[in-house]
Structure formats: C-alpha cells, structure tokens
Chains A and B, each alone.
Chain A
Amino acid sequence: MAEQDKILHDLTQSDYKYGFITDIETDIIDIGLNEAVVKTIWEKKNEPDFMLDFRLDAFRKWQKMKIPDWAYLKIPPIDFQSISYYAAPVQKPKYASIDEVDPELIETFNKLGIPLEEQKHLAGVAVDVVMDSVSVKTTFKEVLAEKGIIFCSFSDALQEHPNLVRKYFGQAVPVADNFFAALNSAVFSDGSFCYIPKGVRCPMELSTYFRINAANTGQFERTLIVADDDSYVSYLEGCTAPMRDENQLHAAVVEIIAHDRAEVKYSTVQNWYPGDKNGIGGIYNFVTKRGVCRGVSSKISWTQVETGSAITWKYPSCILLGDNSVGEFNSVAVTNHHQQADTGSKMIHIGKNTKSRIVSKGISAGRSDNSYRGLVKIMPGATNSRNFSQCDSLLLNDTCGAHTFPYIEVGNKSSVVEHEATTSKIGEDQIFYCNQRGIDTETAVGIIINGYAREVLNKLPMEFAVEAQKLLQISLEGSVG
C-alpha cells in the first residue's frame, strides 16, 4: 500500500510539458478596461460599425453584472482592471507563404505538436491557430473554399463575410447571457469562423489551437460555426498556455447553429496550464459554449477532455429547437493538485421527439474538487422527448472531492428522463490483478483510468483520442492512490 502511495506521489510531481514561453514580439495594449479600450480593440481590428455597437452594448451590460457564485468553486477575486485585453504577435498583415511566419512561432507550434503545413496534408486536418487572442495562421483555406466552406479567423470573417457573421452572431449566446459571455462580447479579439453550405460534408476535421503566451493578458476568443441544411462538420479545439505564477483569465464563447438535418461535432482537448502542485498560477477558464439545433433532425455533439486550468467553469449546451433534433455531451474531466472544475451541460428540449444524452466521467485526485452540474429541461411542447444522463466520478484519494449536481425539469407525460450517477474508487483487487500479470501499479492505474473514460474517448476523432489518452495519464501522474 505504501508503495502504491509512493508511486502516486511521484506521479503527481510531473511537470506541465507545454509550459514554455515563446519569445516573440507582441503588440500589447495597456492593462485596464473601459469604453475607450473596447473602442481601441474595435479600431485595431478594423471591424465594421455594427461591431462597435455590439461591443459597447455588451460592455455596458457587463458593468452591471456580477461574477456568478453558484458553482462549487472557490474563485479568488479577479481584478478585471489589471488585465490587458489585447495582445497579438506582431505580424505582417498576411502571410504569403509559411516562410514568412516568424520562425519562433513555427517552433512554438512544433513544440505543441500542432499540425501546420505539409505534414498536416497527410493528417487531413485544417488548422486555425489563435495565439494570444489573434489568429495567426489558417491552413487549407483554399482546399475548403472549393467546396464553399468558409473556415477562417473571426477577423477575416468580419472583413470578408460581414453579413453572414452578423446574421448568426450572438444567436446562441446573447450579449448578456452571463458575466463572462458579456465580457467576451465586449473585448474578444479573434477566434474562428466556420460556415458549411447546404448539403456539404466537410471532407476533413477542422481544428483550432489556442495558445496564451504573453503575460498579464486575458484570452477572449470567439468561435462561430454555422452548418446549413444537410451539412456535416467535425471541429477540434486544443489549448495550452505557459507556466506562470500569476493566474490568467480565459473567457471564450463558442456558438454553433445547426440547420435542418445538419450535424456538428465539436471536440475539445483543454490543457491550459493548471497551476503547480501547490496551486500557484494556472488559467481561470470561464467558457460559454452553446449550440442551437435550429433545424429539424439536426444534431450537435460536444465532446470534451478537460485536464488543464486552475478553475474550469464550463457547460457546453444544446438548445433542441427543431423537431427530432439530437444533442450529446460527452466529457472526461480530470482534476489534480488544487484544480477546481465545475462542468457539465444543459439540454433544453423545445421541439418534439428531441433526444439528448449526457455522459460525464469525472476523475479527482490531489486536493482538487471536481463537480458535474447539468440541466435537462423538457418543455411542455417537447412531447416524446428522451434524455439519458450518466455521471460517474472516480476518486483517487481521500483528500479530493467529487460532486454531482443535476437538475431535471420535465413538463409533459410522454417524455422520459433518466439520470444515474455513481461514485467509486479504483479497486485494489483490480490493481492486484494487473500486478499479478506483471503490470506495475503506475501502468495499471493508467490502464484502469483509460478504461473508465473509454466511452468518452471513443467519441473523439482518432488523432485526438491518442493524444487525450496520453494527456489523461500525464495529468494524473503523482495523483493516484
């Protein structure tokens, strides 16, 4: 037993491997937030006029709002005036080819293992990279354009497709939806935009990598995905940040709109810097993700592997408006050391015969707290609707916590909602069985945890799934007991 503890202890001491800082020239504005700053961001981005109204509206509403306190999180006071709201790698307006990209930047992305350029041709992944809030490179743009797919930075989308953006922007997440969404709406600097036209199946995975680099900055990116009738797209998102002793704020908004029979898969591997083993530093991750299944028989599925961040506050949700539409949420959330996560999903059933499914696997270690929070709401008109939720928690020692807070509201008789939750630890007999077959305890714990999370990991696209498995193991190093 003592040996097991030791292995677990050693495992927890592992380092965050993405904690390097890139030495790159950055355009950064002074810290602080007021209307002038909002305007400065708008000017720097050279955005259309309607965006200024949108941003100022959001800012004014945000000023009247309070930071939400209902989650099972201890959120230290955040001084919103000590953050710089815009930081961008200094760059030429456009890269004509990969050679013009700052070699430091290329090196950064190589370290991150991000598929830029030719090698990625093989993988067939189109990538947009957002560093310190600004999109630095979008690959495969031309290939996609042939199919009529628009996949570009949010800034480019505002320049090139302002009407399209305007039509959908803020539809899933209104300006004043919540404190962090309002803040994002006021100051967001970039992100990705994606439009899949009618009847088009996007031939490759679309992917965005987010990276916070500069110190004392917040990252506020915005993603908008629109899938028109009968289209399909699978979208991946990955995030990392350097190790710094101070906390950094990340408040993103992701909106998805799915029209008739369209399907959108959104996968996230979130590995922001979680802070060190004493709870110093780390990203505060407050994210609003929401999809609207607007059309009949449309489908939106969220899959997330959350291993990073000091604090995670995130509830990817589906509004099932169209009849027969389907929402899915699959999540693995790992917390170690002093990390805190309050994450889950909302499924709002409005259309008839709508279906949703929630699978949440929480793994807690160290002195962390890991909570599932979810809402399943069946409106009276959403007849014959179904939901199934399964929320499991695995505790790896006696100093961490695992909590489950589901809310279920059902308003008609023909719908069926089922929720199940269990809490368990890794069985000593399971570890011994592996030991008896020659597998050491550390490996055994890794195997068992990956088995526990398999149902969710299987939902990830192949390249991501392998990465996610490794990440799970790394995140829990030194934690298992």
Chain B
Amino acid sequence: MLTIKNLYVSVEGQEILKGINLEIKPGEIHAIMGPNGSGKSTLANVLAGRHEYEVTAGEITYNGEDLFEKSPEDRAREGIFLSFQYPVEIPGVPMVNFLKTAVNEHRKHRGEKELTAGEFLKLMREKMDMVDLHPQLTNRSVNEGFSGGEKKKNEIFQMALLEPKLAILDETDSGLDIDALKTVAHGVNALKSPETSTIVVTHYQRLLDYIVPDYVHILYNGKIVKTAGKELAFELEEKGYDWIKKENEK
C-alpha cells in the first residue's frame, strides 16, 4: 500500500529525516516511536503533503502511484488521513458545514452522489456515538473552544466519517486521560479492516496496549534504527530511550 524509499526531508534548511525506508501492507498497523525531535511528526506531515517540509531525496509510492505528484486534498480523497497532533481552530466555520463539505468532496472524487443535508446528519449521528463525542460540539466552529481531549476525539470522529485507507495518528494519545484514550483506541479499532492500514506515531507505549501494532519502528535522529514486533514497545517502556541513544552513539 505504502512504500517509502530512502526519504530525506528538511525543514527550514535543517535536515530532519535522513533516509527512511518503510513498507506498509494492507491491514497492517505500524507504530512509530522515538524520543522528542526524532522526526516522527515530520514523517506524518510529509505523508499528508505539508509544503513546509521539503523532500530532498527519496520516493514514496502509495498504491503504486507517486505520492509527491498529488496535492494534499487528493491524498486525502484517496484515503490518507492524518489525525493532527495540534488540530487548528477555524473561527466562524461550523463543524457541520466543514464536515459535510469534506465528506462530499470525498464522494465526488469516488464518483458517488453527494449527500443531502438530511443524509449527512444521519451519517454524522451514527459515527458520533462511536467516539462518544457530545453532539453539541458539531454546532461549534471547527476545533474552537474544544478541550484537548475533545479535539483528539474530534479527529477520530472525522476519521470515522471519511473512512480512510491509511490512517496516520500523530501523537493522538498525548494529553488524553485513560478513559479518553480507551475511547479513541476503541474508535480506531472499530474502523480497522483487512484493507486498511494504520500508522500510530507515539512517544509512549500505553496507547499500544489498546491499539496492538504488527510492527514497531524506532525513529532516532532521522533514521529508523530498530524494527521489531510489539514486544519492542515493552522493551522501550522498560529501558527508556536512553538505551536507544546509547546504542546509536557507540
């Protein structure tokens, strides 16, 4: 589904990713872990097509096609979903309008009929229960006045609505209490299918208790320095990141 080859990325002239290789097949869950500043969020943003991140070398193919050829909205319409670490507020734009536009853009792209207001509201209510999001939040402006936990739940709610093929969760667990974390994980797991893949970017192991990964990759200083099964996350939790740092500075 997704193949990353020898990816180098700079931000404002500073090299952040230094040769990433990664292969994700349909149905897989990959966790990307690493200390602060290792480049985890950069990788997530590059996949979504943020233009501040300059790709200096390497390639990414998504379903056999060159990802860099596609605009951010086309990537989204073809199934790449980024759950933002810090969802931005858009004052004055009601959630409902925003989501209806987004859903219908996806449908148009797939050659499906656009939903009417009534149909959309019905769909929205269904998905809302999944993440336990208060219905009143959809009357507010996009992310405005949402608590940290509500923002994250709102991201997962949008994921439920848009039904992506490749979901990237960028530190979705940060700032969540244990109940909210369970709700979010439940949402992610419920949306899982053999055709869809997930990249979980996280600092801590605790989210992985609920979203069980097939592979764990450790990103350090712009490179993937270790890849193993879910047991790697436990090892990391036990030994801390210093272990990785030491090992790589030898």
List chain A positions with a Cβ less than 8 A from chain B: 1, 3, 427-430, 432-441, 443, 447-448, 450-455
B81-107 interface bits toward A, Cβ cutoff 8 Å, 1 = contact, 0 = none: 110100110111110011101100110
Which listed residue (A3, A435, A447) contacts B98, Cβ 8 A?
A447
- Identity of the chain A residue whose Cβ is nearest the Cβ of B50 in the assembled complex: A432
- Identity of the chain B residue whose Cβ is nearest the Cβ of A454 in the assembled complex: B92
- Identity of the chain B residue whose Cβ is nearest the Cβ of A446 in the assembled complex: B101
23 A-B pairs, CB-CB below 8 angstroms?
A3-B71, A427-B88, A428-B52, A430-B90, A433-B87, A433-B90, A433-B142, A434-B90, A435-B76, A437-B98, A438-B73, A438-B106, A438-B109, A438-B162, A439-B101, A439-B105, A440-B71, A447-B93, A448-B90, A450-B92, A451-B91, A451-B93, A452-B91
Q: Are B73 and A435 in contact (CB under 8 A)?
A: yes
Q: Are A429 and B49 in contact (CB under 8 A)?
A: no
Q: CA separation between A248 and B74, bound complex, in Å?
A: 45
Contact partners of A427 in chain B: CB under 8 A: 88
Contact partners of A430 in chain B: CB under 8 A: 88, 90
Q: CA separation between A111 and B161, bound complex, in Å?
A: 40
Contact partners of B81 in chain A: CB under 8 A: 436
For residues 152 through 171 of chain B, which have their beta carbon under 8 Å from a beta carbon of chain A? Answer: 158, 162
Q: Are B76 and A438 in contact (CB under 8 A)?
A: yes
Contact partners of B71 in chain A: CB under 8 A: 3, 435, 440
How would you classify the secondary structure of chain A's contact residues: helix, strand, loop or mixed?
helix
CB distance from A23 to the nearest CB of B (A): 40
Interface membership of B27, Cβ < 8 A: no
List chain B positions with a Cβ less than 8 A from chain A: 48-52, 71-73, 75-77, 81-82, 84, 87-88, 90-94, 97-99, 101-102, 105-106, 109, 141-142, 158, 162
Q: CA separation between A452 and B142, bound complex, in Å?
A: 12
- Tell whether A447 pairs with B101 under 8 Å between CB atoms, given A435-B49, A437-B162, A438-B109: yes
- Identity of the chain A residue whose Cβ is nearest the Cβ of B80 in the assembled complex: A436
CB distance from A207 to the nearest CB of B (A): 27
- Identity of the chain B residue whose Cβ is nearest the Cβ of A426 in the assembled complex: B90
CB distance from B192 to the nearest CB of A (A): 20
- Identity of the chain B residue whose Cβ is nearest the Cβ of A1 in the assembled complex: B51
Contact partners of A433 in chain B: CB under 8 A: 84, 87-88, 90, 142
Contact partners of A3 in chain B: CB under 8 A: 71
What 8 additional pairs, Cβ within 8 angstroms, besides A433-B87, A437-B76? A427-B88, A435-B49, A436-B73, A436-B75, A448-B93, A450-B92, A450-B93, A454-B92
Q: CA separation between A432 and B71, bound complex, in Å?
A: 10
- Tell whether A437 pairs with B92 under 8 Å between CB atoms, given A3-B71, A443-B101, A447-B97: no
- Identity of the chain B residue whose Cβ is nearest the Cβ of A457 in the assembled complex: B92
Contact partners of A454 in chain B: CB under 8 A: 92-93
Q: CA separation between A434 and B51, bound complex, in Å?
A: 14
Q: CA separation between A396 and B213, bound complex, in Å?
A: 44
Top 10 A-B residue pairs of the complex, sorted by shortest distance between their CB atoms: A451-B92, A451-B93, A435-B72, A437-B102, A454-B92, A438-B76, A438-B105, A438-B77, A435-B73, A429-B88
Q: CA separation between A450 and B142, bound complex, in Å?
A: 13
- Identity of the chain A residue whose Cβ is nearest the Cβ of B52 in the assembled complex: A428
Interface centre among B88, B92, B142 (most CB of A within 10 A): B92
Q: Are A436 and B48 in contact (CB under 8 A)?
A: yes
Interface centre among A429, A436, A441, A453 (most CB of B within 10 A): A436
Interface centre among B50, B93, B105, B158 (most CB of A within 10 A): B93
CB distance from B10 to the nearest CB of A (A): 16
Interface centre among A432, A450, A455 (most CB of B within 10 A): A432
